[in-house]
């Protein structure tokens, strides 16, 4: 049995020997990272069709240098609606709101009803999309300040003015009351608008106007847009990191993401400015994140700020880090401990009871929690991280804490982050890097020399700068090295995950979408092929080139649950290449195997709004103990071999 000794700096590092049964690697290696970036939540995965439903948009939500024409304000996405010579006014009010966390509402004063009434109209996110015969849940909170009753029409019209869906009801409460009803769409509409029209002289207060597809993912109320959620679920991720990276530690101290503001009834949640320059309603909150993880069989990995804000706060590149005052750190830490209780505590506990009240009496079984994200590793950061880490470790030793090593693959923050992790014994350290595709080919041995007995790695954010096949294949090559080093790389997730077409702050992204469809990138198919074909042992020297030289752009893993042997081969060349596969170390090989190939022109992309040009092709091939395989030009091939 061979034992390799590698030199790392001034220290000797031993790599694990490859046993006859293979080297154990993390079965949780491939997962996903969700950040509310590129309208990934509101206007994206969160299925709400009404934009700015609670009139909480503010000019401060958007960077002053990136304001759209006219800026953002509480009436953004809304307009005054009067059909048939009605007369009235609308005003923004804050007296006696539904809840202090949702302070603004609209007051409609109807002077003259006219033919069809007076009210408000919402255009959603680039228009409201409805599908024929599908049903939608409309809801609104209303209050009649003057008492009496107010007849209300709810009307959805397409861009031609044709009524697509409608209903009517009567509001008759002097205190806030929620009204709910179901609408059925008569036809397809891609750019519809929702109108709320009041049919009697008088005043009415309006808040939390909502239109939600009933057909959400898993049928969840306040749930997720089904087609996007299904595209994510198809990855079968081992874990989900959320709610974001830079979003988590925020644009300044008062913008640090507060998980407690995102749970409970949606009308009581506190929206906030998004560091990516738009408003986040928190309709997709921590309960929904955990529920989604459970629905897709993924382990949750929430990320909490380490008591400091993003160093790029206020767009002061690198020097904007703000710190929670030391006198406030005990309460800050308690909020983190409360999160663990919310997830894992009994339904009789203070925070476990809030989970149960939301409809989930059983624990969410939280195992991991991230502390910090791409932070500038300052003495202030270290002091606060140490306090949080030791408090979590002391009260919840079963929770694995994931630390951070700054925003890059090298440099001072990287070195200092790892130094802190080794000093404290942090179990896992989060690394991030975005590079050109050539970098990934040049750094395949990055993790070969990492110490095997210390902190493991979570490659939390990585991507090649591009969405062409050559970028995706370079990522595939790098992922074979992650499998080879799956004993030290515990988790890995491509980033960012989602982007709404026309509203992106960051490119490239794994999955693009608009109001109608979802457009998986070529990179998505690479991630899916690796995630669906992961193993828990790695086997070296299975794939060679002619002459017996190991083929670097390949890996072989075995899934102990199925007994399947999975060989992955990447060809970056513009010509076919031959690979030799030796399965003699394995027993009872079946002679027919599943083959999946992703191939095409190196510059090919799957463009949003167009038919996908590069998708995997599945077939069957014959295999034996030793056989040759010809890799197509510019391709990823996955051969899955069953054992008897």
> Could you list the active site residues?
374
Q: Judging by beta carbons within 10 Å of its beta carbon (0-12, 13-18, 19+), is residue 301 exposed, middle or buried?
A: buried
Q: Maximum Cα–Cα distance for the chain, whole Å? A: 90
Those residues with Cβ within 8 angstroms of residue 52's Cβ, 6 or more apart along the chain or in another chain: 74, 75, 76, 77, 78, 122, 279
Buried b (16+ CB within 10 A) or exposed e, 349-378: eebbbbbbebebeebbebebbbbbbbbbbe
Helix (H, G, I), strand (E, B) or coil at 144: coil
Contacts of 412 (CB under 8 A, 6+ apart): 377, 406
Distance of CA 226 to the CA centre of its chain: 15
Rounded to an integer, what is the distance from CA 275 to the centroid of its chain? 15
Q: What are phi and psi of 8, to 5 degrees?
A: -125, 105
Query: How far apart (Å, rounded) are the C-alpha atoms in residues 175 and 526?
Result: 54
DSSP conformation letters of 2-29: ---EEEETTEEEEPPP--TT-EE--TT-
Could you tell me the two tokens for 616?
A: 């995997």
Cβ–Cβ < 8 Å for 38, 509 = yes
Q: In the block, which residue shows the tokens 């005043």?
A: 203
Decide the pairing of beta strands 239-242 and 32-33: parallel
Length of the chain: 644
* Other CB atoms within 10 Å distance of the CB of residue 179: 16
Query: Which residue from 170, 173, 161 is spatially nearest to 121, judged by alpha carbons?
Result: 161
């Amino acid at each position: 049995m061979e034992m390799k000794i590698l030199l790392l700096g001034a220290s000797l590092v031993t790599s694990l020997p490859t046993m006859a049964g293979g080297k154990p690697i993390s079965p949780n290696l491939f997962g996903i990272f969700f950040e509310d970036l590129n309208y990934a939540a509101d206007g994206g995965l969160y299925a709400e069709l009404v934009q700015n439903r609670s009139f909480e948009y503010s000019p401060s939500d958007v960077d002053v240098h990136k304001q759209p024409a006219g800026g953002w304000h509480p009436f953004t996405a809304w307009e005054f609606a009067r059909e048939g010579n009605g007369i009235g006014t609308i005003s923004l009010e804050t007296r006696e709101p539904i809840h202090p966390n949702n302070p603004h509402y609209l007051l409609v004063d109807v002077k003259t009803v006219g033919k069809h009434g007076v009210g408000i109209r919402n255009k959603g996110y680039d228009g409201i999309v409805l599908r024929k015969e599908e049903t939608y849940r409309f809801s609104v909170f209303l209050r009649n300040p003057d008492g009496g009753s107010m007849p209300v029409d709810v009307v959805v019209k397409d861009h031609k003015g044709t009524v697509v869906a409608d209903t009517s009801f009567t509001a008759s409460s002097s205190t806030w009351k929620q009204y709910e009803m179901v609408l059925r769409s008569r036809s397809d509409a891609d750019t519809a608008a929702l109108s709320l029209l009041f049919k009697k002289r008088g005043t009415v207060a309006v808040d939390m106007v909502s239109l939600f597809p009933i057909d959400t993912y898993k049928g969840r109320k306040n749930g997720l847009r089904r087609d996007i959620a299904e595209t994510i679920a198809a990855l079968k991720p081992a874990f989900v990191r959320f709610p974001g990276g830079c979003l988590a530690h925020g644009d300044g101290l008062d913008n640090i993401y507060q998980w407690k503001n995102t749970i409970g009834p949606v009308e009581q949640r506190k929206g906030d400015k998004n560091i990516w320059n738009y408003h986040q309603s928190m309709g997709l909150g921590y309960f929904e994140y955990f529920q989604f993880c459970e629905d897709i069989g993924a382990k949750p990995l929430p990320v909490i700020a380490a008591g400091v804000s993003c160093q790029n706060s206020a767009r002061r590149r690198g020097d904007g880090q703000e710190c929670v005052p030391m006198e406030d750190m005990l309460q800050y830490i308690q909020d983190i401990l409360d999160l663990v209780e919310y997830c894992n505590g009994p339904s009789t506990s203070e925070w476990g009871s809030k989970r149960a009240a939301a409809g989930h009496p059983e624990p969410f079984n939280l195992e991991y929690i991230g502390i910090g994200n791409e932070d500038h590793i300052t003495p202030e950061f270290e002091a606060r991280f140490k306090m949080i880490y030791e408090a979590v470790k002391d009260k919840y030793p079963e929770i694995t804490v994931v630390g951070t090593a700054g925003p890059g693959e090298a440099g001072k923050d990287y070195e200092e982050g790892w130094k802190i992790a080794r000093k404290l014994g942090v179990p896992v350290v989060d690394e991030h890097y975005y590079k050109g595709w050539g970098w990934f080919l040049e750094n395949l041995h990055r993790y070969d020399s990492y110490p095997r007995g210390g902190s493991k790695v979570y490659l939390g954010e990585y991507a090649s700068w591009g969405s062409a096949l050559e970028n995706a294949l370079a990522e595939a090559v790098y992922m074979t090295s992650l499998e080879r080093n799956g004993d030290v790389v515990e988790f890995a997730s491509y980033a960012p995950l989602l982007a709404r077409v026309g509203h992106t702050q960051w490119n490239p992204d794994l999955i693009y979408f608009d109001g109608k469809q979802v457009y998986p990138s070529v990179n998505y198919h690479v991630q899916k092929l690796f995630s669906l074909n992961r193993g828990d042992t790695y086997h070296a020297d299975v794939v060679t080139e002619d002459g017996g030289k190991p083929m670097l752009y390949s890996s072989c893993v075995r899934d102990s649950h199925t007994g399947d042997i999975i060989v992955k081969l990447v060809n970056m060349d513009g010509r076919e290449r031959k690979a030799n596969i030796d399965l003699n170390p394995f027993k009872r090989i079946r002679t027919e195997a599943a083959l999946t190939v992703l191939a095409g022109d190196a510059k090919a992309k799957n463009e949003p709004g167009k038919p996908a040009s590069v998708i995997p092709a599945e077939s069957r091939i014959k295999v034996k103990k030793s056989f040759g395989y010809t890799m197509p030009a510019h391709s990823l091939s996955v051969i899955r071999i069953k054992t008897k």
